[in-house]
Chains A and B, each alone.
Chain A
């Protein structure tokens, strides 16, 4: 099947405005703005079953529907903070197929009647921000952004905003704080951004990949989109495959593809032909899954992965062979979350600090049994006690590694 999101792999130069237009580009935006009511756009996206691709999997159309028409102005923010270790899909979309992403933002903005949209990029995406600025300018020039789009009363402007190195800014309320020029620390929710978002105004925050699906849904319809993927997880997903595989990379596949197909058919199998030991299906914030047939033959959709005691998240599949021990894995994941904890909630700030010290002791084989018990207890006590998921994420690998790979923590 031809790619729907990574279209640059099939169509050379689709990042050029003319080529994008020749391939149907901006027809969905024109259709939405000139022939559909905003509410109709929301209904189509709802009916398509599209769910947020940033990790949470929340139904996109439902999110848009929460925006109240009693408070103005509205904003749309594209979350291009892509910082989960193991995730590198949004980058490829923005580099390869930027106009489909930008068209998705414009349709989302029309649906909630926002006249300003921001793209929040992680600071490291400096070159991508400059690239998108140039693409936005081309769209303005061609009349696809700016005042009175397609001769209607609807006007829209899109701006990029660069972060400066903070994983936490992928969390939507921390991201909004960051655009407001503050430290990226999560807000207490509710109120949710749909009601109280950027500058205290109703705001839709969607991931890059989510938005890139939108033009196709408007163009081809909700039923077509639902026919792809599974009942619970409609459409296609970009799986970022990394770690111990022969061919790491992004693979755009229908939801419901199994881990085995992804790792062995697309990824070419395990690096150095060693036995597979474990899979992290959602990056560093993932639970660890042992390499059993039951896991490998599980279809990758939200419900099936959940049933395994993990989450699909942003579908960043990290493959681990038998050359590494789980204490090494935990050292890496805990170090990451300790570094990225914003410091607002004590369980996360202190918990990640202490987990790091304890895993260092285990790495040095100091009282392994007692320290493993302590590490497990600290992780368990952090759960459900933080404002945002970061604290929780830091414990996922810890508890599941100890539960599912006890041999790696034996004296």
Chain B
């Protein structure tokens, strides 16, 4: 199904935000839209977005490559992105990431064998007072999970395992 078939209203709303002659401005919100559900952006999405915005497929791929929240390959359904930057790291974020990965039997950057969860280290998420913390990029967008412990994180994953499948 094309994006136009799937999200006709949302696309209209996105374009209404920008001057009619500035269609390229819609490229980022359209990419966010395309990534919903499946968690990555494929070649068909890029072609369609290029057409909608009146730019080339290369222009779109450039945006996908530049910004870290866009992905061009499928990974786990939930991307658990742990902030390990300086302020969180001073409060144990590196150890949190290592222990969480150990309990899941994966290395940072890897996906659990069932394809549910990818755990990765990311840059500062503006939640330094609530470390350790992570954000989850999932089928419905992005959510924050703060003041975490490994046990709480595993509990979250178990609940998600039932819901996402």
Contacts and interface: CB of A to CB of B under 8 A. Distances in A.
28 contacts: A85-B86, A86-B124, A86-B128, A90-B126, A91-B127, A125-B126, A126-B142, A163-B28, A164-B63, A165-B69, A165-B123, A166-B66, A179-B25, A180-B25, A181-B22, A183-B63, A183-B66, A184-B66, A199-B22, A242-B91, A243-B90, A244-B91, A248-B128, A280-B86, A284-B124, A316-B128, A318-B87, A319-B90
Given A91-B126, A123-B69, A164-B67, A86 B86 contact: yes
Contacts of B69: 123-124, 164-165
Which of B19, B31, B142 is the most central at the interface, judged by chain A CB atoms within 10 Å of its CB? B142
Contact of B32 (A88, A123, A127, A280): A123
Contact of B26 (A127, A167, A181): A181
Contacts, number: 144
Interface in B40-61: 53, 55
How big is the B interface, by class?
Answer: 35 or more
A5 to B, nearest CB: 16
B32 to A, nearest CB: 6
Given A165-B68, A181-B28, A340 B128 contact: no
B87 to A, nearest CB: 4
A264 interface: no
Interface in A83-130: 83-88, 90-91, 118, 122-127
A126 B141 contact: yes
Interface of B: 17, 19, 22, 24-29, 31-32, 53, 55, 62-63, 66-70, 85-87, 89-91, 122-129, 131, 135, 141-144
A332 B17 CA distance: 38
Given A124-B135, A164-B68, A336 B28 contact: no
The dominant DSSP class at the B interface is mixed
A276 B129 CA distance: 18
A207 to B, nearest CB: 13
Contact of A83 (B26, B90, B124, B135): B124
Nearest to B23: A181
Nearest to B81: A124
B124 A84 contact: yes
Which of A165, A184, A320, A340 is the most central at the interface, judged by chain B CB atoms within 10 Å of its CB? A165
Contacts of B127: 88, 91
A218 B121 CA distance: 44
Interface of A: 82-88, 90-91, 118, 122-127, 159, 161-167, 178-184, 199, 240-244, 248-250, 271, 280, 283-284, 316, 318-320, 324, 329, 332-333, 336, 339-340, 342
Contact of B124 (A127, A179, A324, A336): A336
Nearest to B24: A181
Contact of B90 (A118, A163, A164, A320): A320
Given A91-B127, A199-B19, A242-B87, 16 more contacts: A83-B124, A85-B128, A87-B128, A91-B126, A122-B126, A124-B144, A126-B142, A161-B28, A164-B69, A167-B123, A180-B24, A180-B25, A181-B24, A181-B25, A183-B66, A243-B90
A136 to B, nearest CB: 11
B126 A82 contact: yes
A127 B143 contact: yes
Contacts of A178: 28
B67 to A, nearest CB: 4
A181 B63 contact: yes
Contacts of B25: 161, 179-181
A165 B53 CA distance: 21
Given A88-B127, A181-B63, A164 B55 contact: no
A311 to B, nearest CB: 17
Contacts of B131: 242
B53 to A, nearest CB: 7
A340 B123 contact: yes
Contacts of A284: 85-86, 124
Closest 9 CB pairs of A and B: A164-B67, A165-B68, A181-B24, A242-B128, A126-B142, A85-B124, A248-B129, A165-B69, A181-B27
A225 B158 CA distance: 51
A85 B128 CA distance: 8
A318 B90 contact: yes
Contacts of B124: 83-87, 167, 284, 336
Contacts of A88: 126-129
B53 A181 contact: yes
A164 B32 contact: yes
Contacts of B86: 85-86, 243, 280, 284, 318, 329, 332-333, 336
